[in-house]
Amino acid sequence: MELSLKDYFFIIIKKWKIVLSFLLAGILFMFAWSYFFVDDKYEISTTSSLYKIIDKVNPDIPEEINTTDKENTAFDRIVSKFNVELSDAKYLYDLVWNVKIEQLSTLYNEVEAQTPNTFSFESDYATIGKWAESLGYTKKNLRQALNFSFSTVSKGYFTINITVKNPDFGVSLLAAYNLVAKQRVGDMSEQATYNTIVKSDYLIIDQPVIPNDKDVIRPNIPVNMMLGALVGIVLAVAVVLIINFYDVKVKGEDDIREKFDVPVIASIPDVSEIKKGY
């Protein structure tokens, strides 16, 4: 017997207990999952820049040092080279992975910065890499979690950010990037003219810091509970329809005519309700 949408609706309504059970189960599951199993996340970033230094190749040759297009072009080459090393090359990342926490504590404050560092680098692990592994990161997926953006390439401004569950680790990781980048930039230089060479130095504009409580990324429990309710209803409807599909009981005279194509000669009324009256 083919059923109309109205018939399906009443079938589902009759099984309201199943629907309600799945609805509540979905809500409770998503609440428990969001509250107990999803950790808060912290988005941490640091912004730095490179600035130009012009030196003479031979100090004995008298020449006034002025910034010209050649010096600017040489500086742009340094910035481009550094951008590639920072975001694409493996070498710089390997150095960050192997930075010792003790080294951060002693050398980081020597990096020039617009605002002083107030964070204390402490960990039970010797290196950034060991600390990352203890948090479940591999060398590859930690690298993929980092984001690099270059806001004004010609001036060497760039930002590194990462979203992590452990804010202390996130700050230490980005501080390690600043320290290694400072050391790497110091080794870069480009010839501008026959007697001028362009170098660069590193300046931290915004220190990596632990976000305020209001900026912490937390699971949206009400939305997750609504999704759980929706999934619960969908599963309940599916279960009810499957139960109805495999239900072979005869439900009335029309059901007999539909299934067996024979006339109904007689039927026995349900007297259970009549007996209750005596």
* Last-in-domain residue among 215, 243, 262: 215
pLDDT at 276: 55
Q: Say how far apart CA 234 and CA 228 lie, in whole Å.
A: 10
Taking only the tens place, the pLDDT of each residue in 141-156 is 999 999 998 876 567 8
Q: Mean pLDDT, the chain, as a whole number?
A: 85
Are both 163 and 129 inside the same structural domain?
yes
Q: Say how far apart CA 95 and CA 78 lie, in whole Å.
A: 19
* Last-in-domain residue among 162, 183, 215: 215
Which pTM does this prediction carry?
0.75
Q: Which of 108, 81, 84, 110 is nearest to 173 (CA)?
A: 108
Are both 160 and 191 inside the same structural domain?
yes
Are both 209 and 227 inside the same structural domain?
no
Domain that holds residue 89: 42-215
What value does the mean pLDDT take over residues 11-38?
Answer: 92
For the CA atoms of 18, 23, 29, 31, the dihedral, rounded to the nearest 10 degrees, stands at -160
Quick one: DSSP state of residue 34?
A: I
pLDDT at 15: 87
Q: Which of 168, 172, 149 is nearest to 160 (CA)?
A: 149
- Is the CB of residue 183 less than 8 Å from the CB of residue 46? no
Taking only the tens place, the pLDDT of each residue in 108-148 is 988 999 989 989 999 999 999 999 999 999 999 999 999 99
pLDDT at 113: 93
* Last-in-domain residue among 187, 215, 243: 215
156 or 173, higher pLDDT: 173
Are both 163 and 29 inside the same structural domain?
no
Are both 67 and 184 inside the same structural domain?
yes
- CA dihedral sign of residues 164, 169, 172, 173: negative
